[in-house]
Every structure is written in C-alpha cells, then in structure tokens.
Amino acid sequence: MSSPVPAGAAAQADDLLQNLDHPSDDHGHTRRLGGWAAWLVVIAALSFSVFQLVVAAFSPLSSLPTRSIHVGFLMLLAFLLYPARSKSARDRLPWLDLVLALGCFVLGLYHWKFEADLVLRSGDPNTADMVVGTACVVLLFEAARRVLGLALPIVCALFLAYGIFGEYLPGELAHRPFGMDQIISQLHLGTEGIYGTPTLVSATYIFLFILFGAFLEHAGMIRLFNEMALGFVGHAKGGPAKVAVVSSGFMGTISGSGVANVLTVGQFTIPLMKRFGYAPHFAGAVEATASMGGQIMPPVMGAVAFIMAETLNVPYAEICKAAVVPALLYYVTTFWMVHLEAGRANLLGLPKDQCPNPWRAIRERWYLMLPLAALVAMLFHGFTPMFAGLTGLALTGVLILGTTVAAQFGQRAMRVVFWIGLGIVASFFAKFGIWVILGLIAALVAANAVAQGGRSTLAALRDSLIDGAKQAVPVGLACAIVGVIIGTLTLTGAATSFAGYILQVGEKSLFMSLVLTMIVCLILGMGIPTIPNYIITSSIAAPALLKLGVPLIVSHMFVFYFGIMADLTPPVALAAFAAASIARASPMKIGMKATQIAAAGFVVPYMAVYDPALMLQPGADGVLHWGAAAYMLFKCLVAIGLWGAAAIGYLSRPLHVLERLWCAAGALLLVAAIPFTDELGFAAGALMLAWNGWQLKRQRPAGVVSGA
C-alpha cells in the first residue's frame, strides 16, 4: 500500500512558504551582535557594497588598489562576524578582533596609498613592503580559517612551505632557492598571488552577481520559485523531493552558491520532505545535491564560471553555452534518482487540490523575472558580465522601489505607466549610462520615504546590501587565499611536473588521465570549496588534457563539474553539513546518500570529453554539428536512466543484483568511446526495458501492485 499523506502536512506546507520572505544566513557560526558592534557591522557591510557598486559603475581606481581594498573589506567583515573559535561567545565582539578587523582594512589601503612608489620599486621591496605583505598574508590565513575552516588554509600553507623550503627536497621535487623578498613580492605586491585573477573576478563580477541574488531573494523570488515547483510537481510521486529539485534548479539561476541554496530553499523543502515520510538524511541529501547544481546552472553560475571566463579569455556567454546541457543533465539525474527512490519507498506527493496554482503565482509575480530576463539577454548579446550584472541589479532596485510606489495609487493605469517607464529607462540606461538610472532610483527612494509601506521597502534594500556583502565574504576569501597556491606554482613551476605525469599516463590511456584528474578533484574537494579546487586542478591538469586533445573549455568544465561533485562527497561535504543543520541528521549519512543520488551524473563529463558536442562545442572540423549534439544528449539520458536504476535498485519494480549489474554494464558501455559500445549499450537498455515489462506483466495477475 502507498504511504498516506500525513495529517495536516499539506496545510503545513503553506505555513513553510510563509517564512521564505527573508533568506537565512549562509553560515551558522557567525556572531549575533547587538548595540554598537551590530551598527559597526552594518556600516562595514553597507560601505563594502557601496564601494563595489561605485567601482562597477565608475571604475575610479586602477586594478591592483581595487583588489587590495576588496580583500581589506573581506577581512574586515571576517574578523567582525566570525569568532576565533566555534565555542566562543557569539554575542560580543572582543577588542582583539576589533583591532584585527580595522587593521586589515587599513592594510588593504596600502596599495592605493603607495601605488606609484610600488610600481617604481617593483621587484625590490623595502622594509615597509615586507612588513605589510607578511602581515596581510598571515591575517588572510587566519580570516580564511575562521570562515572556511582549517582544510583550505592547511593546503595553502603546504604550498607556501614548498615555495620557501622546497630547495631542500630531493630529486625532481626540488626547485631553485627563493628569498623571502621574492616570496612576499609574488604573493602580495603583484597580481600573481593573493591579488591574482580570482580576486579580480571576485572584486568585479562575483560581488555584483551575489548582490543581484540577494536583491531578488528579498524581493520574494524564493517564494515564487517554491510555489511554482510545488504547483508543477508537488502532487507527483515523491512530490516533496521533486519540489526540492525543481526549486533548487530555479534558485540556481540567480545564486551560484550551493551552500546558500541549501540554507534558503532547504528551509522549506527539507521539513516538507520529512513530513511526507522521507528519512531525514535522504531529505538533506536531495536538497544538498540539487543545490550544488546551481553552480553550473546558467545564467548566474557559480564564481568559478567567471574565473574560468577570465582565465580562458572567452566571453561569459561561451561558458554558459558549454554549461547549459551538463547543468540540465545534472538536474535530470537528480530528478530521476528521486523518482526511483520514491517508487522504491512508495512515497506519495501532496493532494493536488492542496498544491498552489503555479500559473497564478507566475501571473501575480511575473515581474520578478524581468531583471533575470534582462540579465540573460545582455549576457548573450555581448555585454560584459560586469555591465550586465550592474544593469540587472539596477533594474531589480527600480523594480522593488517602483512597485511599492505604484501599489500606493492602486490604479491599473499607474502600473502600466510604471512598466512602460521602466522599459524606457532601461533602454536609456543601456545607451546613456548610469546617471539616468541613478536619477530614477533617487526619485523612487524619495517617493518611498513618504509612501505607505515605503519604509519597509527601503529597509529591504538596505538588508539586501548588507546580506550581499556578508555572502561575499566566504567566496572572496577563498579566491584570495588560493592565490597563495597560484603564486607558489607560478614561482616554482611545480605545476609542470604534475602535468607531465598526467601526460605520461595519457599517452597510454586518455581515460586513465581523466580518472586521475577526477580523483584529484574529489580528494581536494574533501577539504576545500569548489573555487580553490577548480583553480588548483585547472592550473595543473587542464593544460595536460589540452595536449592530449581535449578542447580547453571542455577540460576546464570537466574539472569544474567534479569540483562540484566533491562538495557532496564525505568526509568534508560542505553542502551536506549545511543540510544537516536543517534536517537534524548525520552529515556523513547525508553526504553518502547525496553521492549516491548524484552517481549517475558522473558519466556526463566523460561523455563530453569524448564528444564535445555535448557541451555545444565544435568538432574536429571546427563546426558544431547539432545532430551529433542531439545524439549525445539522447545517449546521456539513456546512460543516466540505466545508471540510476543500478544505483537505486528500482525500475517500476525492485531489481535483483544481476539486474542492477546489467544496468550498470549498459551505462558503462554508453560512456566508453570504443567501436560498437554504443550499440551494445543501447541493446542492453532495450533488453532491460523489455525484461522489466515482462516481469511486471507476470506480477500483475498475482495481485502484486507495481510501483510504476
């Protein structure tokens, strides 16, 4: 028999939706300050956001000072918000942390104050340069430890130690001696270390897109996404879990942070799944898996996508194009695994008459999608990510402020006039610059100050600026501290040695080189976030894969994809730990289950390497063949279907061990790029479907109800 819907659960689903107007904090161990300390955090966060908006709109500073001040703000907020120890009191700000926070910000101004002098004495630092550089590196390690945990600082410290003491290592591991002046110059005084490309991207594109997501969240986008997902799939078999997949996929279009997705969408989906009979660890695993896919979901992908575009020197739209099919396949994988698990456990969805009407939700709040649509259009029409992000952010601000003013009059004609005016202003903004939009925003702020309900709208905008600055701290610090690794690899040339080893393996087998690269990604991901994971492995492995014939963008996407998978794999799975705080389940059990749910997705990057058409990349003749892309998509879907059945052990009915092995073998045949393996894989899938149908037909006369 099917498991019944718990009494009152459908009504409680609506209660959960009511609590989604304000997104939760990204990290549970931040301080909850009051009094003057809270005001100091507010001022620091607002100043950070305003600084970044001014930089994006007017570019008042050259590149290196912009990066150093950005890192100074990051460390300022890190020492204000994060205690030195997890057990420290979270309701007060120790004087030492206050001194460190203000000191970090002052040190961040060093490149701005002495910019001309630093250029003149480049390569020959004086005593002040050495002291400031050493202090900045040490404080950056401590800030990263507080925010990101021990794993990443330890990895970076090992690379730094290699740069300092590597001359004493034996054989090929050794490098030539480097003085401390060379180390500090590399890490702090130039753009090869902590102020490298990742920090540049964090200080430009990433911050704007984080702020864009924060604005949309405060405007009510999370609630809209959840209502749409609940209305479309909430009534299906395993509906609550499918809601998590669809809603997290929607959320992924505006937020590139997997952990942030877990802690926003998961506040609704995880309790909903638990109330409908799902085990707590499975509910957490579904949300963790679905949320991590947001990093490869265009148009607003994770921070890695912006770093990749800058590193490869290609338009951001090209990265989106390469990611769109793998992203959709990732969510198809998760959706399929959830469907099979629901069938195996015989779990139902919500009663259809108690699900919200998704079309009504879209009809009532469709305007929230306008900034996102404008962002997508600009990205795919050649505008830079910074300009597109700033435009999307400005339009969101106009949207939030303008709807409150329009609602004040209560007249349909006024709303129509507002929307027409918004379109005109957007077109003027694209042609004449920022001053038009600034004037409109100033006028709307003044109107909201006197309009009924306008004060709460202004408060929502203020909170969006504060939340955006806070959410940028872990991402920005990861980008900065990973510069220690990049700087060391560049200085010592150590990346060449590992790349050479991959090339040696690849001469015998490209597949083994891919497996080796995947293992490195997964091992690194056990302790560090996706951003440093990608940067390390792409700088080492991607050039080697290019020499083995893998297109550059495909090799980088391969590393990126498995960096995301690494955040789901125990023992240190960041998304699983975030979900555990809501699901009240073991992070280890959540991580193990999340790895199982995402298992079918492991086949996608391999198939893309052997046929780049899956990432919409041209073939050897330089032309994208859409027929080949469609064939690869179909092959991936079949492989995912077979792999999911093997992993869950269910396909309209429970599968025996031999049947599961048959499905796994069929999936592997479809992945392998060897003559006739595709034909054998398709044959294995067809035979499995025929066998499964015959078994179902045999069972029905005996009175056994299938789970189909």
Q: Concatenate the DSSP letters of all residues of 562-609 into one string.
A: HHHHHTTSSSS-HHHHHHHHHHTS-HHHHHHHHHHHTGGGGHHHHHHH
Query: Helix, strand, coil: what percent of the chain each, to 5?
Result: 75, 0, 25
* Residue of 602 and 1 predicted with greater confidence: 602
What pLDDT score was predicted for residue 77?
Answer: 95
Which pLDDT band holds residue 338 (cuts at 50, 70, 90)? confident
493: helix, strand or coil: coil
Looking up tokens 């079918």 gives 600
pLDDT of residue 27: 43
Residue 650's SS3 state is strand
Query: Cα separation of 488 and 642, whole Å?
Result: 44
* Overall pTM > 0.85: no
**What's the pLDDT band for 415 if we cut at 50, 70, 90?**
low
Cα-based torsion angle of the residue sequence 686, 688, 690, 696 in order, rounded to the nearest 10 degrees = -150
Least confident of 135-139, 359-363, 492-496: 492-496
* Euclidean distance between the first and the last CA atom of the chain, given in angstroms as a whole number: 13
More confident residue, 450 or 649: 649
Please state, in angstroms and rounded to a whole number, the distance separating the CA atoms of residues 266 and 287: 6
What six digits make up the tokens of 196?
A: 């490298």
| Tokens matching residue 286 | 């579904």
Continuous segment of H or E residues that includes residue 116: helix 115-120
Residue 547: what residue type? K
Dihedral angle over CA of 362, 368, 369, 372, nearest 10 = -160
Residue range 222-237, pLDDT digits in tens: 778 778 888 888 778 7
Inter-residue contact 374 to 391 (CB < 8 Å): yes
Using the predicted structure, report yes or no on whether residue 115 has a pLDDT greater than 80.
yes
Q: How confident is the model at residue 406 (pLDDT cuts 50, 70, 90)?
A: low
pLDDT score of 498 more than 70: no
- The pLDDT tens digits for 342-389 are 888 777 777 777 778 888 888 877 777 777 777 777 777 777 777 778
pLDDT for 110 equals 94
Question: Does position 21 have pLDDT exceeding 50, yes or no?
Answer: no
In the predicted model, is pLDDT for residue 205 greater than 70?
A: yes
Q: What count of residues does the chain have?
A: 708
Cα separation, 530 vs 527, in Å, equals 10
Range 291-313 average pLDDT: 81
Residue of higher predicted confidence among 115 and 269: 115
With beta carbons less than 8 A apart as the criterion, state whether 593 and 282 touch. Answer: yes
Reply yes or no on whether the pLDDT at 576 is more than 90: no
Q: What is the mean pLDDT of residues 398-402?
A: 77
Q: Is the pLDDT of residue 24 over 80?
A: no
Confidence of residue 22 (pLDDT cuts 50, 70, 90): very low
Please report the pLDDT score of residue 144 as a whole number.
92
Percentage, residues of the chain above pLDDT 90: 17
For residue 65, cis peptide bond before it (omega within 30 degrees of 0) = no
Quickly list DSSP for 140-169: HHHHHHHHH-SHHHHHHHHHHHHHHHGGGS
How many Å apart are CA 164 and CA 169, to the nearest integer?
Answer: 11
Percent of the chain exceeding pLDDT 70 equals 84
- Residue of 544 and 655 predicted with greater confidence: 655
Q: Which parts of 349-453 fold into alpha helices (H)?
A: 358-365, 370-379, 385-409, 412-432, 434-450
**How far is residue 191's CA from residue 21's CA, in Å, rounded to a whole number?**
41
**Helices (H), ranges, 202-238:** 207-219, 221-233
Write down the mean pLDDT value for the chain. Answer: 80
C-beta neighbour count of 665 within 10 angstroms: 16
| C-alpha separations of 663 from 113, 231, 608, 656, 672 in Å | 64, 33, 21, 11, 15
Question: Token pair for residue 204?
Answer: 């430009």
Q: Residue 135: its pLDDT value, please?
A: 96
Q: At what angle do helices 626-648 and 316-345 cross, to 10 degrees?
A: 30
- Specify the pLDDT at position 26: 43
Q: Spell 670-705 as b/e; 16+ CB within 10 A means b.
A: bbbeeeeebeebbebbeebeeebeebbeeeeeeeee
The alpha carbon dihedral of 311, 316, 321, 324 has a sign of positive
Alpha helices in 451-509 (DSSP H): 454-492, 494-508
Residue 551 three-state SS: coil
Residue 334 has what pLDDT? 87
Q: What is the pLDDT of residues 519-531, one digit of tens each?
A: 877 777 665 667 7
Please say if the pLDDT value at position 329 is more than 70: yes
**pLDDT score of 195 more than 90:** yes
pLDDT level of residue 708 (50, 70, 90 thresholds): very low
Query: Are 147 and 82 contacting, i.e. CB atoms less than 8 angstroms apart?
Result: yes
Structure tokens at 303: 């921070």
pLDDT in tens, 45-94: 999 999 999 998 888 889 899 999 999 999 999 999 999 887 666 678 89
Q: Which of 563, 564, 568, 556 is nearest to 609 (CA)?
A: 556
> Cα separation of 394 and 316, whole Å?
20
The one-letter amino acid code at 195 reads Y
Whether omega before 543 lies within 30 degrees of 0, making that bond cis, reads no
538-554 average pLDDT score: 81
Bridge partners (DSSP) of residue 474 are none
**pLDDT tens sequence across 692-701:** 888 888 876 5
Q: At 370, which amino acid appears? A: L
Largest Cα separation within the chain, whole Å, is 88
Name 650's bridge partners. 654
CA of 604: how far to CAs of 312, 327, 537, in Å?
A: 22, 10, 19
